[in-house]
């Protein structure tokens, strides 16, 4: 069979080459399966199908020729809003359950119930404990860990009235949330309430459903995700700037290659320790390899890249490609964004897929369950399995295309402040003078509906050229890294103002702030900037963009950004077009509610223009040059 034109699928020659290899070796990929699904169901794409009860399933005819109500009487507005609400709830639940795992880890540290985890950043632990009003004078680090973990675990319930870090939002934003009745009370409460409201016969009004969706998303952005970020820093260390590399070529032909994939550093940090063990390195050598090589994929890769400088092999759409190189002994996964297909692709090679979370099993994978008491021992077991697997690698099937691309990472808010001399003043000055006209979070996934990495990279190049600083997370950050945008030399691609700032500070124009939960760092930074200027977040010259998003989590991030006052451009249309009410609210009505809206624009150059116009208007409103 003739090979498809892979150039249309990805901007990366290495991925093209591996797609050819997969084709020749009869391996099915995400792009093949996407094609097999076409045409996608039009009702579902518009959000017009409902499976919420078994009087249905029902669907609404978008052309008005067929049914306009489901069996229960729900119309297009209700069905679309309910579906969107459940999407937001699933995204918030995913990030926040991840955050809960970190809080439980910190509690176990505080209660002396784990010897495998500890506190790497005691100063941040103290700062966070004091921030929530606990007197630390007579507390040991363990006591602080217990007190902070217990307080933050209460954010998941509903006993406190609002999640802790809502306190970080500027006062105008908090007043607005209170007035609208969307101040998030507790993560679990908001998610459960959304599931309740969207049951047949509960909330049957689109605006009411969408307002609650905003509340759910805020419980993630200022709750679950923020907890995940802050506690990961406490337990594993707050990221500081460092260099590393990205691309599939970080895999090594002569070494045992282990990849970590998923989101939670609780697992990936353990393996990062284990691969440094001299005994295990000796075992790898005895098996015929020259050493142990660890690299990351997706967000758990971002976590250990930010903190440990572990190289990044690729993003979401490259996870199958990593296996197709024939050089990966083992992929250890935790949860989220792990395509179940990895097991089938791995079965075509010698690669082992090892699942580790009691919450995430994969049929056909090897399950080695990690917990807070056995993590170090299990990490060693995983490395030993990888070494054993190396013996069955077929060198004739190994092809690692491309070369590693250098990048700079580790730009936590603490690191940014540190680089600025401990105060936001230089950044504010740069914004006021127009050297940096604004800042944009370019975030989110890869989606086979979009040419791989094209949206992220072209948008970001266009933005930095306009003197707009880019902060990135998730798979977008990996894309930028692989395209060479995350090194100080990339300042050459920026406009003159941004270029001068980057050169003075020795930083890239595209700053890596972490994984998907670390979008909360951007929220916090926006709150600090707004406070410094005595304005609301919606007055800042900032925006967000997710050009290639696919996941429910990304939808939730987009909504909490908008509900926090940040204009957000989506490159992929969410499934809401079946309702005029919901669509109009999303792309214009929310401006009057939250001071920000969504825009949908698949073309990255046009998206950059939309963002540029927004930043221009916000600058003018602040009395600054456009």
Residues that bind ligand SF4 (CB under 6 A): 50-53, 55-58, 70-72, 74, 79, 200
Contact 343, 367 (CB under 8 A): no
> Would you count residue 298 as binding ligand MSK (CB under 6 A)?
yes
Q: Is the peptide bond before 499 cis (omega within 30 degrees of 0)?
A: no
Contact string 253-272 vs ligand MSK (x = CB under 6 A): ----------x---------
Candidates 444, 514, 595, 604: give the one binding ligand MSK (CB under 6 A).
444
Instruction: Tell me the helices (H) and strands (E) count for the chain, helix number first.
Output: 26, 16
Q: Closer CB to ligand SF4, residue 52 or residue 325?
A: 52
- Size of the chain in residues: 626
> Would you count residue 316 as binding ligand MSK (CB under 6 A)?
yes
Residue 55 binds which entry of ligand MSK, ligand SF4, none, with Cβ cut-offs from 5 to 8 Å by kind?
Answer: ligand SF4
Contact string 14-53 vs ligand MSK (x = CB under 6 A): ----------------------------------------
Closest CA to 316 of 558, 13, 45, 551: 551
Residue 52 binds which entry of ligand SF4, ligand MSK, none, with Cβ cut-offs from 5 to 8 Å by kind?
Answer: ligand SF4
CB of 93 to ligand SF4, least distance (A): 21
> Would you count residue 246 as binding ligand MSK (CB under 6 A)?
no
> Would you count residue 212 as binding ligand MSK (CB under 6 A)?
no
Residue 445 binds which entry of ligand MSK, ligand SF4, none, with Cβ cut-offs from 5 to 8 Å by kind?
Answer: ligand MSK
CB of 206 to ligand SF4, least distance (A): 14
Beta carbons within 10 angstroms of residue 201's beta carbon: 10
Residue 70 binds which entry of ligand SF4, ligand MSK, none, with Cβ cut-offs from 5 to 8 Å by kind?
Answer: ligand SF4
Closest CA to 450 of 473, 475, 426: 475
Class of residue 64 by CB neighbours under 10 A (exposed 0-12, middle 13-18, buried 19+): exposed
The rounded distance, in Å, linking the Cα atoms of 377 and 564 is 43
Q: Binding segment for ligand MSK among 17-25, 355-363, 489-497, 551-559 (CB under 6 A)? A: 551-559
Sheet holding 366-367, edge to edge: 366-367, 352-355, 330-333, 256-261, 292-297, 312-314, 242-246, 405-409
Non-local (6+) Cβ contacts of 328 within 8 A are 251, 257, 258, 259, 322, 349, 351
Q: Closer CB to ligand SF4, residue 80 or residue 529?
A: 80
CB of 85 to ligand SF4, least distance (A): 13
The rounded distance, in Å, linking the Cα atoms of 82 and 214 is 13
Burial 334-372 (b: 16+ CB within 10 A, else e): bbbbbbebbbbbbebbbbbbbbbbeebebeebeeeebeb
Q: Kindly determine how many residues on this chain lie close enough to bind ligand MSK according to the rule CB under 6 A.
A: 14
> Would you count residue 455 as binding ligand MSK (CB under 6 A)?
no
Tokens 């908008």 belong to residue:
562
Residue 444 binds which entry of ligand MSK, ligand SF4, none, with Cβ cut-offs from 5 to 8 Å by kind?
Answer: ligand MSK
Non-local (6+) Cβ contacts of 70 within 8 A are 50, 55, 56, 58, 59, 60, 79
The rounded distance, in Å, linking the Cα atoms of 94 and 111 is 26
> Would you count residue 224 as binding ligand MSK (CB under 6 A)?
no
Non-local (6+) Cβ contacts of 53 within 8 A are 72, 199, 200
Site for ligand MSK in 531-550 (CB under 6 A): none
> Would you count residue 452 as binding ligand MSK (CB under 6 A)?
no
The rounded distance, in Å, linking the Cα atoms of 348 and 174 is 53
CB of 551 to ligand MSK, least distance (A): 4
The rounded distance, in Å, linking the Cα atoms of 131 and 379 is 34
CB of 578 to ligand SF4, least distance (A): 13
Q: Closer CB to ligand MSK, residue 393 or residue 480?
A: 480
Residue 125 binds which entry of ligand MSK, ligand SF4, none, with Cβ cut-offs from 5 to 8 Å by kind?
Answer: none
> Would you count residue 333 as binding ligand MSK (CB under 6 A)?
no
Q: What six digits make up the tokens of 217?
A: 């998303």
> Would you count residue 553 as binding ligand MSK (CB under 6 A)?
yes
Q: Closer CB to ligand SF4, residue 73 or residue 340?
A: 73
CB of 449 to ligand MSK, least distance (A): 13
The rounded distance, in Å, linking the Cα atoms of 593 and 218 is 15
Closest CA to 617 of 544, 562, 555, 540: 540
Contact 379, 276 (CB under 8 A): no
Q: Closer CB to ligand MSK, residue 194 or residue 298?
A: 298
Q: Closer CB to ligand SF4, residue 81 or residue 251?
A: 81
In terms of C-beta distances under 8 Å and separation of at least 24 residues, what long-range contacts does 482-485 make, across chains too? 482/12, 482/246, 482/247, 482/312, 482/314, 482/405, 482/453, 483/11, 483/405, 483/453, 483/457, 484/405, 484/406, 484/407, 485/457, 485/460, 485/461, 485/509, 485/510
CB of 517 to ligand MSK, least distance (A): 8
Residue 339 binds which entry of ligand SF4, ligand MSK, none, with Cβ cut-offs from 5 to 8 Å by kind?
Answer: none
Closest CA to 246 of 308, 330, 171, 310: 310
CB of 455 to ligand MSK, least distance (A): 12
> Would you count residue 313 as binding ligand MSK (CB under 6 A)?
no
Residue 551 binds which entry of ligand MSK, ligand SF4, none, with Cβ cut-offs from 5 to 8 Å by kind?
Answer: ligand MSK
The rounded distance, in Å, linking the Cα atoms of 287 and 625 is 64
CB of 59 to ligand SF4, least distance (A): 8
CB of 570 to ligand MSK, least distance (A): 13
CB of 170 to ligand MSK, least distance (A): 27
Question: Residues interacting with ligand MSK, by CB under 6 A?
Answer: 263, 298-299, 316, 337, 444-445, 474-475, 515-516, 551, 553-554
């Amino acid at each position: 069979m003739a090979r498809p034109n892979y150039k249309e699928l990805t901007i990366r020659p290495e991925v093209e080459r591996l797609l050819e290899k997969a084709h020749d070796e009869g391996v099915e990929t995400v792009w093949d399966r996407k094609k097999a699904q076409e045409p996608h169901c039009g009702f579902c794409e518009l959000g017009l199908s409902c499976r919420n009860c078994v009087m249905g399933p029902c669907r609404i005819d978008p052309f008005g020729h067929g049914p306009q109500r489901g069996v229960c009487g729900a119309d297009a507005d209700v069905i679309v809003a309910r579906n969107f609400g459940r999407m937001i709830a699933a995204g918030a639940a995913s990030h926040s359950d991840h955050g809960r795992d970190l809080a439980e880890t910190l509690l176990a540290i505080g209660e002396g119930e784990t010897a495998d985890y500890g506190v790497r950043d005691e100063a941040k632990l103290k700062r966070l404990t004091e921030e929530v009003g606990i007197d630390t004078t007579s507390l040991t680090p363990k006591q602080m860990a217990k007190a902070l973990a217990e307080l933050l675990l209460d954010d998941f319930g509903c006993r406190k009235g609002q999640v802790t870090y809502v306190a970080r939002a500027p006062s105008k934003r908090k007043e607005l949330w209170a007035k609208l009745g969307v101040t998030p009370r507790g993560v679990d409460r908001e998610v459960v309430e959304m599931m309740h409201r969207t049951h047949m016969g509960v909330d049957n009004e689109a605006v009411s459903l969408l307002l609650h969706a905003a509340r759910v998303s805020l419980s993630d952005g200022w709750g679950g995700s923020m907890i995940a970020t802050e506690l990961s820093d406490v337990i594993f260390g707050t990221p500081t700037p460092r260099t590393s590399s990205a691309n599939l070529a970080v895999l090594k032909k002569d070494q045992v290659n282990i990849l970590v994939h998923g989101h939670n550093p609780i697992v990936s940090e353990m393996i990062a320790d284990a691969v440094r063990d001299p005994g295990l390195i000796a075992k790898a050598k005895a098996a015929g390899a020259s050493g142990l090589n660890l690299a990351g994929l997706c967000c758990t890769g971002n976590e250990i890249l930010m903190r440990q400088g572990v190289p990044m092999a690729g993003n979401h759409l490259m996870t199958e490609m990593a296996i197709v190189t024939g050089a990966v002994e083992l992929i250890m996964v935790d949860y989220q964004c792990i395509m179940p297909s990895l097991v089938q692709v791995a079965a075509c090679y010698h690669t082992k897929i090892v699942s580790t979370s009691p919450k995430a099993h994969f049929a056909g994978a090897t399950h080695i369950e990690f917990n807070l008491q056995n993590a170090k021992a299990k990490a060693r077991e995983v490395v030993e399995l990888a070494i054993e697997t190396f013996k069955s690698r077929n060198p004739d099937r190994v092809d690692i295309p491309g070369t590693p691309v250098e990048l700079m990472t580790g730009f936590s808010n603490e690191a940014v402040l540190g680089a600025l001399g401990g105060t936001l003043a230089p950044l504010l000055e740069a914004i006021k003078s127009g050297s940096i006209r604004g800042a944009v979070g370019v975030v989110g996934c890869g989606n086979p509906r979009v040419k791989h990495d094209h949206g992220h990279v072209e948008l970001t190049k266009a933005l930095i050229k306009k003197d707009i600083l880019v902060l990135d997370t998730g798979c977008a950050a990996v894309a930028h890294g692989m395209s060479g945008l995350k090194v100080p030399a990339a300042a050459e691609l920026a406009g003159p103002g941004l270029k001068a700032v980057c050169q003075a500070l020795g930083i890239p124009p595209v700053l890596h702030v972490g994984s998907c939960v670390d979008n909360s760092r951007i929220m916090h930074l926006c709150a600090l900037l707004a406070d410094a200027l005595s304005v609301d977040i919606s007055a800042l010259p900032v925006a967000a963009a997710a050009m290639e998003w696919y996941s429910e989590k990304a939808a939730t991030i987009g909504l909490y950004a908008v509900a926090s006052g940040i204009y957000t451009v989506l490159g992929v249309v969410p499934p809401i077009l079946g309702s005029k009410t919901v669509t109009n609210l999303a792309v214009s009505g929310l401006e009057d509610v939250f001071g920000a809206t969504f825009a949908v624009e698949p073309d990255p150059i046009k998206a950059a223009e939309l963002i540029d116009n927004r930043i221009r208007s916000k600058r003018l409103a602040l009395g600054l040059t456009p």
